[in-house]
Amino acid sequence: MDVLEKMKKEMFRRKLSPRTIKTYLYYVRKFLLFCPKEPKKFSKKDCREFLEKFMDKEFKWMKKSNEEIAGSTLNVALNSLRFMMEEVLRKSMKLNIRYSKTPKTLPTCLSKGEIKSLINSITNQKHKLLISLMYGSGLRVSEAVKLKKEDIELSESIGWVRKGKGNKDRPFILPESLKENIRLTLKSNNSYIFPGRKAYLSVRSVQMILKKAAKKSKIRKNIHPHTLRHSFATHILENGADVTAVQSLLGHNEPRTTMEYLHIVKPKMISVKSPLDNI
């Protein structure tokens, strides 16, 4: 039985993201080298030994402690083996592994004043529009740079993320204060809203834009593209937006993911609108 090929077909059928497919296959390949048995003879014991012995070596190779990477690396490896066992081999896979829980930490969030200072420090108008839209609409950086003209519905004040995380489409709000700049951008000859050397602007370029803006505006927090999304979620919840509405705007599958932001907000009962329009 070609386990890797069967896994790949099943993951494609379920429309898992390319990144998830690549990661799952990586850990299963490691497991197959670790456990040279016939797939039908794989057991929970084999999986446990791989996770406890082989992964321990991997931790040391990465020069990190179990506690530091358990919440990410170990859980991903465990999920990879669980998918192989349950979805391909049709075997039970219930394991309790030490250090498998991810430590809960609150996301870094900027104040409205810091957001305003950050945006105002950017002189390139195209870059300024991009950063403003990422915050004002709660977009992931990969979603923002891939926006095309046909994804924008100015008359309805919404845009569309096409094949976002989980290969799903979802709408997002367009800040009223950005609509004129977006209208002008739509007149260009490029199919992408934010063109770059290779079709659209790279994620790395956006990271550098933010790093430079943070330094210029003297913000000492560890700022990355996702910080803008965290700030968007926090600020609209502070403005009194319903958690269910925020979940939809962010594209979260589970309400509990959105609920994490409630720990850092001060709710007020007002209507939902983009936080950028309040600056």
Residues 42 and 174 reside in one and the same domain: no
Give residue 272's pLDDT: 54
Range of the domain at 188: 112-278
Confidence band, pLDDT 50/70/90 cuts, at residue 104: low
Q: Which residues are catalytic?
A: 140, 165, 226, 229, 252, 261
Tell me the per-residue pLDDT of 161-172, one tens digit each, with 9 for 90 and over: 887 666 678 889
Determine, yes or no, domain membership for 208. Answer: yes
Determine, yes or no, domain membership for 74. Answer: yes
Look up the CATH number of the domain holding residue 47.
1.10.150.130
In this structure, what token pair is assigned to residue 230?
Answer: 């965290």
CB 88 within 8 A of CB 82: no
Residue 33 has pLDDT above 60, yes or no: yes
Mean pLDDT lowest among 22-26, 140-144, 225-229, 267-271: 267-271
Helix (H, G, I), strand (E, B) or coil at 148: strand
Helix (H, G, I), strand (E, B) or coil at 146: coil
Give residue 235's pLDDT: 87
Looking at the structure of the chain, the number of domains it has is: 2
Going by C-alpha positions, the residue among 115, 173, 112, 110 that lies closest to residue 139 is 173
Determine, yes or no, domain membership for 103. Answer: no
Residues 238 and 116 reside in one and the same domain: yes
Give residue 112's pLDDT: 92
Percentage of the chain with pLDDT > 70?
A: 80
Give residue 117's pLDDT: 96
Give residue 206's pLDDT: 95
Span 157-163, average pLDDT: 88
In DSSP notation, 215-230 reads HHTT--S---HHHHHH
Give residue 267's pLDDT: 44
Query: Cβ neighbours of residue 32 under 8 Å, at least 6 residues apart?
Result: 3, 4
Determine, yes or no, domain membership for 192. Answer: yes
Region of 190 on the Ramachandran plot (φ > 0 left; ψ -120 to 50 alpha; else beta)? beta
Span 222-244, average pLDDT: 84
Measured distance CA(185)–CA(181) in Å, rounded: 6
Choosing from 36, 54, 88, the residue where a domain stops is: 88
Determine, yes or no, domain membership for 104. Answer: no
Mean pLDDT lowest among 15-24, 53-62, 106-115, 186-195: 53-62
In this structure, what token pair is assigned to residue 178?
Answer: 């950005």
- Looking at every residue in the chain, the average pLDDT score rounds to 83
Give residue 74's pLDDT: 79
Determine, yes or no, domain membership for 229. Answer: yes
Residue 98 has pLDDT above 70, yes or no: no
Look up the CATH number of the domain holding residue 170.
1.10.443.10
Give residue 243's pLDDT: 72
Residues 18 and 129 reside in one and the same domain: no
Span 263-274, average pLDDT: 53
Confidence band, pLDDT 50/70/90 cuts, at residue 177: very high
Mean pLDDT lowest among 83-87, 101-105, 115-119, 218-222: 101-105
In this structure, what token pair is assigned to residue 78?
Answer: 């465990």
Measured distance CA(236)–CA(27) in Å, rounded: 39
Give residue 61's pLDDT: 41
User: Which phi and psi (to 5°) does residue 171 adopt?
Assistant: -85, 160
80 vs 259: which has the higher pLDDT: 80
